[in-house]
C-alpha cells in the first residue's frame, strides 16, 4: 500500500494538466482546483472542508490561488500537498495584479500582522458584559418605563457588538486556544443573539468568494422585498438557496416601493437571521458540532423571552423588543451599504479575476478613527475582502497601501461617508424600484398590485 502511494505521488510530480482539462473537473463528484500552479483533487475533501462545501464547488475546475491564500494560513499547504496533489498546471500564469496582491499578502504575513490581534476583542467582550448586566439590572430593579425602553436599546447594542465579535472570530482566532475561540463564538453568537455561528460561517464564507454575484451571493438575494439590479427581474436561480428567485407580481409590488420600505424592514431583519439559523440547524446539510449550535440557540430562546416576561405589562414588553430590534437594525443597514450600490454581475466567480471582483463589489465607509467602534472594522470593506484573516485593528493602517495598489492597476477603490453611502444605497434601490414599475415587462398580476396601481 505504501509503495503504491509512493508511485502515485511520483506520477503526480511529473503530470502536466492543461487549463482546459482542469475545467472538465468541476462537478461535485469530480472536483479539481489549482493553487499556485499545482492541481488538487478535492472531491472527497469537500465534505470535510472547514469553510464549507460551497466555496470549493463554486471555484471547481479553475485556478483558485487568490481566494485560497486570502482565506487560509500557511499551515493549510501541508494538507494539500500530502493528500490531494494530482499534478501541475501546464499553462499556469499569474496576472500583474495577482502577482502584486500575493506579494503584499506575503509582506503582511512576514511582518506578523495576521498574528497581532490587538486588544479589540478583549475590550468588546468586557463591553458586552457591562451591557448585558446593565440591561438585565434595569429590567429587574427599575419600575421606570423609560429605563425599560433604554434597556431594550442596550440589548440591541449588545447584539451589535456580539455581531462584530462573531465576525472577527469567524475569520481568525480572537483567542489563541481553539476551544476557547469556539466557546466565544457559541456564547456571543448562539447564546446571546440566537443566531447560529454555523449558519453565519456558511453564509459569510460563501459571500467572500462570490462577492456581488446576483445568483451566487446570498447577501444580495432578498426577493421578494429588495433587488439591487434589474437583472434579478429575470427570476434567477439562487446557487446558495438552491431555488428560483421568482420575480412575480408580489415581488414587483414590494420592490416598487423598496426605497421607502428599506429602513422599516431593516428594523425587523433580525427575524430573518433567526429563521435562517433554525432552518439550517434542522436541515440535512452538514453543520459542524450541530448539537452545540442547537443548544446555544435554545439558551437564547429561554433567557430572552424570560427577561421580556419580567417587564410589568405588554406595552413595555413590546417597546423593549421593538427598541432592541430598532437599535440593532443599524448593523443590518451597515451590512448593506458596502455592497448594494457597488458593481454586480451574474454567474459563478472566476479565480483569475478574484482581486478585481473584490474591489469592484465593495465600498469603504470613510470615518474618523474615533468612529471605528461604530462600524466594527467593516468600514474598511475593500481591505477586509482582500485580507479577510487580517485583524480589524490593522485595516486602517493598510488602507493607503491597498488604495495605491488599486490605483497602480487602474481598479476602483470606492469610499464614501456613512451618510453618502446611505444616499447611494437608496438611489440604487429607487432606480430598481422605478424599473420594476415598467409594465413593458409584464409579470402575472395579483389583486394587491392591481388595487394599488389602478388609475381613473
CATH class of 2-93: alpha beta
- Close Cβ partners of 355 (under 8 Å, ≥ 6 residues apart): 66, 97, 98, 101, 386, 411
Distance CA 245, CA 218 (A): 11
pLDDT on residue 121:
86
Confidence bin at 9 (pLDDT 50/70/90): low
Distance CA 226, CA 220 (A): 8
pLDDT on residue 455:
47
- pLDDT exceeds cutoff 50 at 202: yes
Element (H, E) at 38: strand 38-41
Confidence bin at 10 (pLDDT 50/70/90): low
Distance CA 277, CA 298 (A): 12
| Mean per-residue pLDDT over the chain, rounded | 90
- pLDDT exceeds cutoff 80 at 454: no
Asked whether the beta carbons of 197 and 189 are under 8 A apart, the reply is yes
pLDDT on residue 83:
76
Q: Is 301 left (phi over 0), alpha (psi -120 to 50) or beta?
A: alpha
**What is the Cα Rg of the chain in Å?**
24
- pLDDT exceeds cutoff 60 at 3: no
pLDDT on residue 8:
54
Q: Which three cell numbers stand for residue 170?
A: 469567524
Q: What pTM was computed for the model? A: 0.90
Distance CA 123, CA 107 (A): 28
pLDDT on residue 5:
52
Ordered by start, the domain boundaries in the chain are 2-93, 120-340
DSSP 318-377: HHHHHHHHHHHHHHHHHHHHHHHTS--B-S---GGGHHHHHHHT--EEE--GGGHHHHTT
Confidence bin at 80 (pLDDT 50/70/90): confident
Q: Report the candidate in 140, 448, 210 with the shortest Cα–Cα distance to residue 351.
A: 210
Confidence bin at 75 (pLDDT 50/70/90): confident
pLDDT on residue 51:
84
3-class SS at 214? Answer: coil
The pLDDT of 378-401, averaged and rounded, is 94
pLDDT for 265-286, tens place per residue?
999 999 999 999 999 999 999 8
Distance CA 261, CA 280 (A): 27
Percent of the chain with pLDDT over 70: 93
The pLDDT of 44-51, averaged and rounded, is 86
Q: Report the candidate in 364, 328, 361 with the shortest Cα–Cα distance to residue 345.
A: 361
- pLDDT exceeds cutoff 60 at 132: yes
Confidence bin at 189 (pLDDT 50/70/90): very high
Amino acid at each position: 500500500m505504501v509503495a503504491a502511494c509512493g508511485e502515485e505521488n511520483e506520477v503526480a510530480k511529473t503530470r502536466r494538466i492543461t487549463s482546459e482539462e482542469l475545467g472538465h473537473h468541476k462537478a461535485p463528484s469530480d472536483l479539481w482546483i489549482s493553487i499556485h500552479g499545482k492541481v488538487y483533487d478535492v472531491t472527497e475533501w469537500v465534505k470535510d472542508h472547514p469553510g464549507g462545501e460551497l466555496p470549493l464547488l463554486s471555484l471547481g475546475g479553475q485556478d483558485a490561488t487568490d481566494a485560497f491564500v486570502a482565506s487560509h494560513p500557511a499551515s493549510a499547504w501541508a494538507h494539500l500537498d500530502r493528500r490531494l496533489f494530482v499534478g501541475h498546471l501546464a499553462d499556469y500564469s499569474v496576472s500583474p495584479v495577482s502577482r502584486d496582491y500575493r506579494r503584499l499578502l506575503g509582506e503582511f504575513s512576514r511582518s506578523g500582522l495576521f498574528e497581532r490581534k490587538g486588544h479589540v476583542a478583549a475590550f468588546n467582550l468586557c463591553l458586552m458584559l457591562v451591557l448585558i448586566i446593565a440591561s438585565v439590572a434595569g429590567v429587574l430593579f427599575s419600575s421606570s418605563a423609560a429605563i425599560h425602553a433604554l434597556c431594550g436599546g442596550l440589548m440591541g447594542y449588545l447584539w451589535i457588538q456580539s455581531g462584530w465579535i462573531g465576525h472577527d472570530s469567524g475569520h481568525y482566532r480572537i483567542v489563541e486556544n481553539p476551544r476557547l475561540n469556539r466557546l466565544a463564538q457559541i456564547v456571543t453568537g448562539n447564546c446571546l443573539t440566537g443566531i447560529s455561528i454555523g449558519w453565519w460561517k456558511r453564509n459569510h464564507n460563501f459571500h467572500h468568494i462570490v462577492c456581488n454575484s446576483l445568483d451566487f451571493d446570498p447577501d444580495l438575494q432578498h426577493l421578494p422585498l429588495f433587488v439591487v439590479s434589474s437583472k434579478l427581474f429575470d427570476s434567477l436561480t439562487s446557487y446558495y438557496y438552491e431555488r428560483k428567485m421568482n420575480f412575480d407580481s408580489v415581488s414587483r409590488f414590494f420592490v416598487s416601493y423598496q426605497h421607502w420600505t428599506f429602513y422599516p424592514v431593516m428594523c425587523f431583519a433580525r427575524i430573518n437571521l433567526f429563521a435562517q439559523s433554525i432552518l439550517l440547524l434542522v436541515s440535512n446539510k452538514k453543520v459542524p458540532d450541530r448539537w452545540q449550535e442547537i443548544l446555544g440557540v435554545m439558551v437564547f430562546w429561554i433567557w430572552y423571552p424570560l427577561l421580556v416576561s419580567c417587564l410589568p405589562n405588554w406595552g413595555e414588553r413590546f417597546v423593549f423588543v421593538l427598541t432592541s430590534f430598532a437599535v440593532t437594525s443599524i448593523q443590518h443597514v451597515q451590512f448593506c451599504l458596502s455592497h448594494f450600490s457597488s458593481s454586480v454581475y451574474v454567474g459563478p466567480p472566476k479565480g483569475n479575476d478574484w482581486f478585481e471582483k473584490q474591489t469592484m463589489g465593495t465600498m469603504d465607509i470613510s470615518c474618523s478613527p474615533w468612529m471605528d467602534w461604530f462600524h466594527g472594522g467593516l468600514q474598511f470593506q475593500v481591505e477586509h475582502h482582500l485580507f479577510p484573516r487580517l485583524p480589524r485593528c490593522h485595516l486602517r493602517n493598510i488602507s493607503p497601501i491597498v488604495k495605491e495598489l488599486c490605483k497602480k492597476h487602474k481598479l476602483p477603490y470606492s469610499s464614501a461617508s456613512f451618510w453618502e453611502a446611505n444616499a447611494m444605497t437608496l438611489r440604487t434601490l429607487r432606480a430598481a424600484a422605478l424599473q420594476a414599475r415598467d409594465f413593458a415587462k409584464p409579470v402575472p398580476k395579483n389583486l394587491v398590485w392591481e388595487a394599488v396601481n389602478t388609475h381613473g
